[in-house]
Amino acid sequence: MSDIVFCKGGGCTAKLGAGVLSKVLEKLPRGEYDANLMVGYDSRDDAAVYKITEDIAVVQTLDFFPPMVEDPYTFGKIAAANALSDIYAMGADVITALNIVCFPEKMDMNILGRIMQGGAEKVIEAGGILAGGHSINDSDVKYGLSVNGIVSPKRILANNTAKQGDVLILTKKLGVGIVCTASRAGEASQDAMDEAVASMTALNKYASEICRKYNVNACTDVTGFGLMGHLHEMLSGRLSAHIISGSVPVIRRALDYADEFLLTAAAQRNRNFTEQYIEFNNIPFAVEEILFDPQTSGGLLISIGADEGEGLAEELRSAGMPASIIGEITAKDKNEIYVS
Amino acid sequence: MIKIDAVGDVCPIPVVKTKNAIKELKGSGTVETLVDNEIAVQNLTKMANQKGYKVKSKKISDELYSVIMTVGEEQTEKEEQAPAAAESGGSIAVISSGFMGSGDDTLGAMLMKSFIFALTQQESLPEAVLFYNGGAKLTCEGSASLEDISYLAEHGVEILTCGTCLKHYGLSEKLKIGGVTNMYEIVERMSRAARIIKP
């Protein structure tokens, strides 16, 4: 297989910068207001929720990107886990999924088979049906899913409904962007890469299901904009947050790679966009970088009342996730995000 | 001067190439890296700043930027200073609560006040006092120990309060004495200290 064409540095590091994107989105015409659209593009969420009846709403989302690992089967699993994640961030269940495929006709079709096998396995694990798809002959490989889910309208988790006094929980380790980048530069250890792959292929299904037992106020999945970018969206100009950087789960080796400056362009774009909202209180350089690191198939960022926070974090940990409380939501302050 | 052409390379390759070139310099010299986007310039600049290299960048055209790093004396100085700082281990007092001991908190608060007073009476004062969690309240407006802590500060004792804790208790604006610190510094100060005094 032609490795060079297959993996050029993909995953969520390939996302357009939030700054560039919001300029375009602001100018889009809005159609007529529809009260049944419960979550849409103006609420900064990356999925739409449409109410069908009082008990059922459909959740629609899609995600696709270029490969971030050399193995096609692993890439398929990661791309699918990432696309399915938006459904889980909403607190919904997966129903159907369709493949989105861009693939060079001249490339070995077995590679495409392996990618789609990885994707299909994840859809099955999610409890959904892979019902078809669409493919395009393209110069580069890209793969992902369009996913439908359902949820009770009363139980939807939006990303911008956090409350003052909440604690924040992150369910996966940060650093997969830096580790994949280091790997491409030939400088990542096998252990670090294995840890990153295991994290990226893990579904957020289990975290999402545990969340339903608690009164979660807001939830999002941490992906291309990094922890700081997605937290900024969660605060939505209404609230501030205080993050205790030492309690954020990270892949340890990613800190070493950050100290070796194996940095992505996407992390720097994230920094350029979000840094103005953040006050860092003398944080080591590598830790700052990790907080901007774009995550592919990252964990859920959960905002929940302080009284239930530790209980939820403990249950997530007992289910095998590296979850921990990473900070708290406060009233709006001079700066939006304080990191100490 | 070593010239690196990193036009067409995606991050982190320009940084990796530049790092390798700097290694070849064996201590001092200049490396110029050509890249085709501003983000790569920012990542290179970030590395130079962290490493203490002098750095200059200029835009040649929309798709060509030059970043020049100078590795030299300044940086060696920085490296020499580091070990000296690591050896300065005096004693450090750590106040992690508003109360001394557990049991009766009214008693505990009185004991803490008198502990800090007694600290001011020692012949050799600690190098620093670190305040965290409930201890953070003691350096803030309304604390019964402000006078004693001021005495310590006036006599060269560094007073440091955990910023996270101040924030948590809503006391960021109420801090009266000393500076704000964080976990990295707390751990560093504690591990560098020859002795830690804890009520």
Active site residue A211: no
Decide if A112 touches B, using CB distance below 8 A: no
Rounded Cα distance between B27 and B76, Å, is 8
Where are the domain boundaries for CATH 3.30.1330.10 in chain A? 3-155
- Same domain, yes or no: B114 and B176: yes
% of chain A residues with pLDDT over 70: 93
Q: Given A7, A12, A180, A219, which residue is catalytic?
A: A12
For residue B170, the domain's CATH number is 3.40.1260.10
Chain segment B16-64, per-residue pLDDT in tens: 999 999 999 888 899 999 999 999 999 999 999 999 999 999 999 999 9
Asked if residues A257 and A327 have their Cβ atoms less than 8 Å apart, the reply is no
- Same domain, yes or no: B107 and B193: yes
Taking 50 as the threshold, does the pLDDT of residue B84 lie above it?
no
- Same domain, yes or no: B127 and B35: no
- Same domain, yes or no: B65 and B20: yes
For residue B57, the domain's CATH number is 3.30.110.40
- Same domain, yes or no: B124 and B61: no
Helix (H) or strand (E) holding A80: helix A72-89
Q: Give B42's contacts in chain A (Cβ within 8 Å).
A: 268, 272
- Same domain, yes or no: B148 and B64: no
Asked if residues A177 and A253 have their Cβ atoms less than 8 Å apart, the reply is no
Query: What predicted TM-score, i.e. pTM, was given to this entire model?
Result: 0.81
How distant is the alpha carbon of residue A331 from its chain centre?
Answer: 26
B60: domain range?
2-80
Asked if residues A24 and A121 have their Cβ atoms less than 8 Å apart, the reply is no
Rounded Cα distance between A29 and A263, Å, is 37
- pLDDT of res. B5: 95
Q: Would the CB atoms of A261 and B37 count as touching at under 8 Å?
A: no
Where are the domain boundaries for CATH 3.90.650.10 in chain A? 166-339
Q: How many domains does chain B have?
A: 2
- Same domain, yes or no: B73 and B97: no
Chain segment A273-309, per-residue pLDDT in tens: 999 999 998 889 999 999 999 999 999 999 999 999 9
Decide if A19 touches B, using CB distance below 8 A: no
Q: Which residue of B has its CA nearest to A178?
A: B12
Mean pLDDT throughout A233-239? 95
Taking 90 as the threshold, does the pLDDT of residue A96 lie above it?
yes
Interface list for A 249-268 with B (CB within 8 A): 260-265, 268
* Domain closes at, from B51, B80, B109: B80
Asked if residues A253 and A191 have their Cβ atoms less than 8 Å apart, the reply is yes
Chain segment B66-83, per-residue pLDDT in tens: 999 999 855 444 444 444
Taking 70 as the threshold, does the pLDDT of residue A3 lie above it?
no
- Same domain, yes or no: B101 and B190: yes
Decide if B12 touches A, using CB distance below 8 A: yes
Taking 50 as the threshold, does the pLDDT of residue A54 lie above it?
yes
Mean pLDDT for chain B overall? 88
Closest CA to A227 of A178, A164, A175: A175
CATH homologous superfamily of A3-155: PurM-like, N-terminal domain (3.30.1330.10)
Helix (H, G, I), strand (E, B) or coil at B71: strand
Asked if residues B153 and B119 have their Cβ atoms less than 8 Å apart, the reply is no
Which architecture does CATH list for A166-339? Answer: Alpha-Beta Complex (3.90)
* Domain closes at, from B80, B99, B124: B80
Mean pLDDT throughout A53-74? 94
* Domain closes at, from B80, B111, B131: B80
Q: Would the CB atoms of A261 and B47 count as touching at under 8 Å?
A: yes
Q: What is the torsional sign of CA A105, A197, A87, A239?
A: negative
- pLDDT of res. A5: 43
Decide if B20 touches A, using CB distance below 8 A: no
Question: Which DSSP letter does residue B89 get?
Answer: -
Torsion of CA A307, A313, A243, A252, to 10 degrees: 160
